Amino acid sequence: MKIAVIALGKIGLPLAVQYASKGHEVVGVDVNADLVAQVNRAVEPFPGEAHLAERLAELVPSGALRATTDYAEAVPGADAVVVVVPLFVDDEARPDFGWMDAATDELGRHLTAGTLVSFETTLPVGTTRQRWKPLLEQRSGLVEGTDFHLVFSPERVLTGRVFADLRKYPKLVGGLSEAGADRAVEFYEAVLDFDPRDDLARGNGVWDLGSAEAAELAKLAETTYRDVNIGLANQFARYAATTGIDVYQVIEASNSQPYSHIHQPGIAVGGHCIPVYPRLYLWNDPEASVVRAARETNAGMPDYTMGLLEGAHGDLTGARVVVLGAAYRGGVKETAFSGVFGAVESLRTRGASPLVHDPLYTDEELRDLGFEPYHLGEKVDAAVVQADHAAYAELGPDDLPGVATVVDGRRVSAPDRWPGVTYRVIGRA
C-alpha cells in the first residue's frame, strides 16, 4: 500500500515507521520543515522513543519512508491516510480545532477516490461524522462511503514505548459505514502485529466497535477513568494525611481483591492525555459532575503539595526551593501539563524562590520554560520531587546541601535516604 501519515510528532512518526516496517510505501507530512529534513536524513528528531533511531536508519535509506511538507506529494493516490494532528483544549474545556481544521482542509484538497482516511487524534464524540466528513467532502468533491471511506481509530500508546504498545493493545476502529469499517480492519491488520492476549475474550487484534462515535467515546472513557481514579486516590490521600493513616497500605489492601483498582496519589497528573481528554468528554457532557470534580482535584494537587511543604518546613518566604523534575513523568522529555508549572507558581505565591532541576533539560531549555535552573550540589533550603526520574531515587542530603525539608510528590525515595531531613510524602501524616 501507499500510506500517508499527517503530522510526524511523537506518535505520528513512530506510526509511519511501523507501517513502513511492514513493507508499505509511507510518506509523512509535517508543517515543520526542519523536522521533515531530519527524517529524510534518518535522524531521530526527538529523543527517548525506544527503537525509533535504528528503524529510521534502516527504512529511510531503503526508500520505504520519506517525509515532506507538501500534501500534494503524499495524499493523491494513497490507499490510506492516517491523521495524527494534535488537538488542543483550553482551561474551559473548549477544544481548539485550528491545527486539525487546517490539516483536514489541505487533506481534502488533495484527496483522491478510493482512499481510506483514519483519524487517530483523540476527539469529542461526533467530531468524525459531524466535522471531518462534511469538510472532506466539501474540499474534495467526493462522497464519503462511496468515493472514499472515513473512520476513527484512536491511538492508545505512550511516548517512549510506542512500538511495544502497538503490539500490546487492541486497535479500535469505528466507521461511518460498514464498508468503511471493513476497510479499516483490513488496513490495520496489514500494518500492525499483535501480542497474544489470553485475558481478552475477543483476543488481541483489530476491534470494530460499530460506529465512529463508539470508538471516540472508548478513548475518552479509558483516559477519563484514569483521571477520575487518580482524583479519588488523591482525595483518599488528603483525608488519610489528616488522620494518621498510611494511604499506601490502604490502597494495597483494597486492591488485594479483584474489584478494586485504586491508582496512586501524586503531586500532579500531566501529559497530553489524562489531563486533556476528560475536558473533551466534558465538552460533550458538561453535566458530568464526577469527571469535573476529579479534574479539579487533580489540577489542585501541585498547590496542595506546596502546602504540605509549607506545613513541614515553616514560612517559605525567601526560601530557595528546588522542584525536582520539569517533565510530566519520569524518563520522558515532555512538559505538557506538567505539575512543575503549578508547583513553581504556588511557591512564588508563598514567597519562595523556586528553582527547577531536570536531568533531561539544559539550563537554556529550563529558562525558555520560565524557570531558574538548579544544579545538584548547590545550596537549597527545601526540595519537592515532581517527576519520578530514576536518578531521583538515589538522591540524598549531600546532593542538596542545606536541605531541611523534602516533600516527595512521587514517592520515589524513602525516609532513610534523608537523615536529619524532614521527609514527607502525599498521603502520610
Q: Could you give the residue numbers annotated as active site?
A: 219, 273
Are 86 and 7 in contact, with CB atoms under 8 Å apart? Answer: yes
Residue for cell digits 527545601? 382
Distances (CA, A) of 11 to 106, 155, 165, 256: 20, 8, 11, 35
Count of C-beta atoms within a 10 Å radius of residue 414: 11
Question: Residue 292's closest CA among 159, 117, 93, 143?
Answer: 93
Query: Which residues lie below 8 Å from residue 373, measured CB to CB, with a gap of 6+?
Result: 355, 356, 357, 363, 366, 367
Q: Integer distance in angstroms from the first to the last C-alpha of the chain?
A: 59
Rounded distance, CA 114 to CA 142, Å? 10
Element (H, E) at 27: strand 25-29
Is the distance from CB of 383 to CB of 404 less than 8 angstroms? Answer: no
- Give the containing element (helix H, strand E) for 56: helix 52-62
Interatomic CA distance for residues 394 and 350, integer angstroms: 29
- List phi, psi (to 5°) of 22: -95, 10
Cell of 344: 513553581
* Neighbour-count burial of 149, counting CB atoms closer than 10 A to its CB (0-12 exposed, 13-18 middle, 19+ buried): buried
* Separation of alpha carbons 426 and 312, rounded Å: 12
CB 237 within 8 A of CB 407: no
Neighbours of 195 (CB within 10 A): 10
